[in-house]
Structure 1
Amino acid sequence: MTGKRWGILAAMALLAIGARPALAQNTGALTSKVELEKLTAGKDGEPATKTYLTPNVVVPGDRVRISLAFTNNGAEPASDVVIANPIPQALMFDGTDDKAGFGVSVDGGKQFAPLSELSVPVEGATPRAATEADVTHVRWKWPDPIAPGQTRTVAFFGRVR
């Protein structure tokens, strides 16, 4: 069972990248990191603290953070950088703290928008509002160029199914 759980984690790491415009121009590198969120109860009424660790095992219900870092290795600024990432089947999207230039897709990566603007078709009925469980992809678009040698990092969260 431990091997299966690690296999889910390994699959998440393998599926966690996709920066086509910048990489297509050979101007940068994209790396990903998967971390398990752990909550530690606070003492004497203090709030719980979050820490993120490299997991050995993940189980259903665990919350993970997937960080994506783009580094411009080129000699010129990298313009119109887009990072699009599929949500692995083993995860359910659980938000992001990185809202600038952020959108989600509920149709396999064809259309991106804020979640509140998306709907999901329902056979024989009017479409319903999309929820985090419907998210298939996440995407960030940076409007400003990334200077040579500069790194930008974004992250999203998922719950292990």
Structure 2
Amino acid sequence: MKNFTRFAAAILLASGTMMANAPALAQDQAIDLKGDVKLEKVMIDDGGQSLVELVEPDTIVPGDKLIFGTEYSNNGTETVTNFVVTNPVPSAVRLAPAAPANLIVSVDGGATWGELATLSVEQADGTSRPAQQADVTHIRWTLATVAPGAKGRLEYPAIIR
């Protein structure tokens, strides 16, 4: 099991990095994206206080909390406007309840977008139900402007299924 969880962590890290880089190449070479995945680990300090640390995933199990991040920077000489970053959510995880309610997400593979509370999922019997965190397939951010030399970080919390 331990080797499998290390393999799964490597897949999650690789998918976050590769998927995050794809939109940058398609839109503008000036924007550089780098994706990463961190595991939330609760540590107890010498005083008995709980501290949450973000560490490289080594062994992961269902229920573990992860933070998927994408760092962006404008390495060009001109301002980039309306830059869209779209991250697929790996099937091994679900969006965490702690995710901001105003995230723009898709629950149908990227066909439609909106805040989770405004989306629905069609059932096999033709009825629909409100979308839930477990239904999210993609997350999208639109950066209104990214000035030359500007950098930032986009992230979302997820839980191993």
**Greater per-residue strand proportion:** 2
Pairwise CA distance, 1:98? 9.1
Identify unmatched segments of 5+ residues in structure 2. Answer: none
Q: 2:29 aligns with which of 26, 37, 44?
A: 26
Q: CA separation in 2, counterparts of 1:114 and 1:19?
A: 23
Residue matched to 2:157: 157
Q: 2:41 aligns with which of 32, 38, 41?
A: 38
Q: 1:98 to 1:146 in 2, by over 3 A?
A: farther
Identify unmatched segments of 5+ residues in structure 1. Answer: none
Q: 1:135 to 1:108 in 2, by over 3 A?
A: same
Give the letter aligned to residue 37 of structure 2: V
Pairwise CA distance, 1:152? 1.6
* 1:148 alignment partner, SS class: coil
Pairwise CA distance, 1:14? 2.0
Q: Are the equivalent residues in 2 in contact too, given 1:20–1:83 (CA < 8 A)?
A: no
For residues 49-128 of structure 1, the aligned pairs below 5 Å read: 49-94=51-96, 95-97=98-100, 99=102, 102-128=103-129
The superposition leaves residues 127-151 of structure 1 with CA deviations (integer Å, 9 ceiling, x where unpaired) of 10000011111111122x1111111
Q: CA separation in 2, counterparts of 1:124 and 1:91?
A: 26
Q: CA separation in 1, counterparts of 2:15 and 2:90?
A: 7
Q: CA separation in 1, counterparts of 2:101 and 2:108?
A: 21
Pairwise CA distance, 1:41? 5.5
* 1:116 alignment partner, SS class: helix
Q: Are the equivalent residues in 2 in contact too, given 1:27–1:73 (CA < 8 A)?
A: yes
Q: Are the equivalent residues in 2 in contact too, given 1:82–1:142 (CA < 8 A)?
A: yes
TM-score computed with the length of structure 1 as normaliser: 0.86
The superposition leaves residues 57-100 of structure 1 with CA deviations (integer Å, 9 ceiling, x where unpaired) of 1111110111111111111111111111111111111143594x
Q: CA separation in 2, counterparts of 1:98 and 1:82?
A: 19
**Greater per-residue helix proportion:** 2
Q: CA separation in 2, counterparts of 1:139 and 1:123?
A: 27
* Matched-pair identity in %: 31
Q: CA separation in 1, counterparts of 2:157 and 2:23?
A: 24
The number of residues matched between the two structures is 156
* 2:53 alignment partner, SS class: strand
